Amino acid sequence: MTIQEQYEHLEKTLRGYNPSADFSRIRNAFEYADQCHNGQKRKSGEPYIIHPLAVAQIVAEELNLDSESIEAALLHDVIEDTPAEHADIARLFSPTIADLVEGVSKLTRIQYATKEDEQMETLRKMLIAMSKDIRVILIKISDRLHNMRTMEYQSPEKQKQKSLETMEIYAPIAHRLGMQRMKWELEDLSLKYLDPVGYQEIVSRLDAKKTEYDMFMQKTRAQVETRLDELGIPHLVYGRVKHPYSIYRKMFSQNKNLDEIFDLFAFRVIVENVGDCYNVLGVIHDIYTPILGRFKDYIGTPKPNGYQSLHTTVMGTDGIPFEVQIRTRSMHEVSEYGVAAHWKYKQNGQGAGAEGKYEWVRRLLENQEGADAEEFIHSLKIDMFADEVFVFTPNGDVQNLPAGATPIDFAYAIHSAVGNRMVGARVNGRIVTFDHTLKNGDIVEILTSKGAKGPSRDWMKIAKSNEARSKIRQWFKKERRDENIVNGRAAFEAELKHCGLSMKDLLGPDRLPVLLKKVTYPSLDDMYAAIGYGGFTAQKAVSRMRGELQRIAKQQAEKQALEASENSSKAEDSHSPAPKQVKSEQGIIVEGLNNCLVKFSKCCTPVPGDEIVGFITRGYGVSVHRSDCPNASPERRADPALSDRWIRVSWGSDTNESYPTTLEVVAKDRLNLLLDVSAALSTTKTFVSGIQCRSTEDGFAIARIEIRVRDGEQMRTIINKLNQISGVLQVTRPSG
Ligand code: MN
């Protein structure tokens, strides 16, 4: 067929169902597209215009869409592939058509990689959400159908990729929109490239048995038609062999070969009204023996996508089972063309247009019943009338955010460290402000810096997601505390030095708890935080502690003097016990207990210098936690059921050579990141027992590093070193 003939065929098809269409506009669209694509060739070597013409033919012939859709189908690739722009089409045709073409182009631009199921579902939702006008997705599916039909000219790699995409994205959308006929063809074509051997096997077996099958179907059809004629029920009966992909799926899921597939044949009886559907069902069950448990009434309870029909499976005269579907003509149209069928009705009614957009789809869907249907309506409502926005990471992953979301929401959705270090954002390659509203399909990139000051209070007002807001709140609570601790500690240490004391004088199991009690703080960090914040002063802290230290020293001196005199009075006792030394297990002194089993908790892996607390386990001795570990939180320690199992522990002077602990590094993913991390660990002479690194979907990397360190000081050195690596956003000691 020449291009002209093909175009005339299109006009003829359109005239068949819409004689009053404006054919001069259709011709203009065709000629404009032809001119735009002039010189371009398809992979098959044919002129490019063949493709948009074929897509328009599908839109007309298979979906009977309105003339705007036909024009848009003819023009669907001009924005993407030629210099033509939205404005040109809006001016030459109409803004609506320009929007349709732009919509199709947007969907074309999306790159899919195959993902886990959840991502695929999000992608499908996004696609529907992006198609503000349902006609966009209908044209896009037609486009994909033609591309699949002509896939043989593509490279094997492209064939596989496009087929997978079709199987995972487009066929399910066609199904969701109730377009069974197109769904089947998309699936069969995809299968052909995804499993050529399996596909060929089915097709050639079906071919080989074609005569046999045809005879069976003719005979059965005649039996049914004769009976319905006798009863005077107007009808149409079709028989068909099920399509290859549905056979393929059955073979796989039931692990059967082709001969064992139960129902290879399906018959359709189309009647005039619902009453006759049930009459025909009675007739079928009278002629053939129904197979138990196979009757389904989708008229009473339609499928979520609007499908209505009666289904039954019966045993044929030759012992061959087959399925029968019984429905009215309008139910049949819905089943074949899905929402497109409704579009057609609307068009005949009040004329097509963007007004009311999805109103009719929604009404259609809301009329459905059943839990399944409800769920579908719910998801479709979210999809289409949405409180959600779908945006891409630079890697092409989809993030699902509440409508009105900003780069702040996006950054915190990736990781709180990304949000806290954010200094800017790019949307579709352009720098935007933090309060920029994200739109469906935007590609969002977050710019981070180690020097970032962190979130500001305003961010809380800008952010739309609860997730972002709560993470910002956490930051204020925590980050300020850390800052305060650092400042408070510095002030406290300076004051100590000023008074001729050192930290060593304060530590030790017999001192620190008493001293802390004196200043009424549960831990040193709490005291530092208070000093940093200004709620307490370093001078007060040191002077109170000094008073206490003097008292302790005096007490000890008296005690020693007493012991000395006792010893001398018991001079005959030659085996006097060695001066009492506090014994430690693995460097840990457990208050009141000697020689008890000590283990370090895996959740927070304390090292010397950390403030610690012990928990008496059942049978495994004392487990040592950092006092800031969530598993040793004040609430847990106060729990009456467990409170007597918490026990004071402290670091002795004879700590082990090294202790295992864990660090978590969050960084921008890049080449050689792990190499730099290893280098930093090696220059700090760190003993590494394991590194696990995973990339997040958004271009960040999270590494868990298991190391052995002598004490907290060595660890701080390592953390500092890691922090200096380019791209590293945060180094933390995980706990809890
Ligand atoms: Mn195309």
pLDDT in tens, 190-200: 999 999 998 99
Average the pLDDT over each of 102-116, 322-336, 463-477 and give the range with the smallest value: 102-116
Where do the H-state alpha helices sit in 62-179?
A: 67-74, 78-81, 86-92, 95-109, 117-130, 134-149, 156-165, 171-176
| Per-residue pLDDT at 585 | 78
pLDDT band at 547 (very low <50, low <70, confident <90, very high): confident
pLDDT band at 445 (very low <50, low <70, confident <90, very high): very high
| Per-residue pLDDT tens over the stretch 412-434 | 988 888 999 999 999 988 899 99
How many angstroms separate the alpha carbon of residue 104 from the centre of ligand 1?
A: 9
pLDDT band at 27 (very low <50, low <70, confident <90, very high): very high
Task: Give the side-chain half-sphere CA count within 13 A for 561.
Answer: 6
Task: Give Cα separations from 148 to 168, 277, 720 (angstroms).
Answer: 14, 36, 55
Higher-pLDDT residue of 524, 261: 524
Is position 81 annotated as part of the catalytic site? yes
Yes or no: say if 55 and 146 are a contact pair by the CB < 8 Å rule.
yes
| Per-residue pLDDT at 700 | 86
Mean pLDDT value across the chain? 82
- Ramachandran angles phi, psi of 124, nearest 5°: -60, -45
In this prediction, what percent of the chain has a pLDDT beyond 90?
28
pLDDT band at 113 (very low <50, low <70, confident <90, very high): low
Tokens, residue 593: 């207990």
Where do the H-state alpha helices sit in 499-573?
A: 503-506, 512-519, 524-533, 538-569
Residue 583: is its pLDDT beyond 60?
A: yes
How many angstroms separate the alpha carbon of residue 183 from the centre of ligand 1?
A: 18
How many angstroms separate the alpha carbon of residue 78 from the centre of ligand 1?
A: 9
- Report residue 650 CA to chain centroid gap: 45
- The pLDDT of 324-334, averaged and rounded, is 88
- Ramachandran angles phi, psi of 81, nearest 5°: -110, -5
Is position 80 annotated as part of the catalytic site? yes
- Helix, strand, coil proportions of the chain in percent (round to 5)? 55, 15, 30
Average the pLDDT over each of 41-55, 248-262, 527-541, 672-686 and give the range with the smallest value: 248-262
| Per-residue pLDDT at 271 | 94
With both helix axes pointing from N to C terminus, report the angle between 329-337 and 180-194 in degrees, rounded to the nearest 10.
Answer: 40
The single residue of 34, 61, 81, 654 carrying the catalytic annotation is: 81
How many angstroms separate the alpha carbon of residue 333 from the centre of ligand 1?
A: 26
How many angstroms separate the alpha carbon of residue 103 from the centre of ligand 1?
A: 12
Residue 45: is its pLDDT beyond 80?
A: yes
| Per-residue pLDDT at 364 | 41
How many angstroms separate the alpha carbon of residue 537 from the centre of ligand 1?
A: 72
The single residue of 80, 201, 297, 505 carrying the catalytic annotation is: 80
pTM of the model: 0.53
With both helix axes pointing from N to C terminus, report the angle between 466-498 and 407-414 in degrees, rounded to the nearest 10.
Answer: 70
Report the helix count and the strand count for the chain, using DSSP H and E. 31, 21
617 vs 646: CA distance, rounded Å = 9
pLDDT band at 609 (very low <50, low <70, confident <90, very high): confident
| Per-residue pLDDT at 255 | 77
Residue 77: is its pLDDT beyond 60?
A: yes
How many angstroms separate the alpha carbon of residue 80 from the centre of ligand 1?
A: 9
pLDDT band at 47 (very low <50, low <70, confident <90, very high): very high
Tokens, residue 719: 């953390």
| Per-residue pLDDT at 467 | 83
Average the pLDDT over each of 45-49, 336-340, 543-547 and give the range with the smallest value: 336-340
In this prediction, what percent of the chain has a pLDDT beyond 70?
86
633 vs 320: CA distance, rounded Å = 70
How many angstroms separate the alpha carbon of residue 109 from the centre of ligand 1?
A: 11
Task: Give Cα separations from 712 to 608, 609, 615, 708, 709 (angstroms).
Answer: 6, 5, 21, 11, 8
Burial of 293 (0-12, 13-18, 19+ CB in 10 A): exposed
| Per-residue pLDDT at 78 | 93
| Per-residue pLDDT at 336 | 75
| Per-residue pLDDT tens over the stretch 330-378 | 888 777 766 666 555 444 433 333 333 334 444 443 333 333 433 443 4
- The pLDDT of 372-392, averaged and rounded, is 50
How many angstroms separate the alpha carbon of residue 525 from the centre of ligand 1?
A: 64
Residue 407: is its pLDDT beyond 90?
A: yes
| Per-residue pLDDT tens over the stretch 136-174 | 888 999 999 999 999 999 999 999 989 988 988 888 888
Residue 180: is its pLDDT beyond 90?
A: no
Yes or no: say if 645 and 631 are a contact pair by the CB < 8 Å rule.
no
| Per-residue pLDDT at 514 | 84
| Per-residue pLDDT at 684 | 85
| Per-residue pLDDT at 671 | 81
How many angstroms separate the alpha carbon of residue 106 from the centre of ligand 1?
A: 12
How many angstroms separate the alpha carbon of residue 191 from the centre of ligand 1?
A: 21
- Ramachandran angles phi, psi of 299, nearest 5°: -85, -50
Residue 572: is its pLDDT beyond 80?
A: no
Residue 256: is its pLDDT beyond 80?
A: no
| Per-residue pLDDT at 339 | 62
Residue 238: is its pLDDT beyond 50?
A: yes
| Per-residue pLDDT at 367 | 38
Residue 451: is its pLDDT beyond 90?
A: no
How many angstroms separate the alpha carbon of residue 48 from the centre of ligand 1?
A: 10
Most confident of 128-132, 271-275, 586-590: 271-275
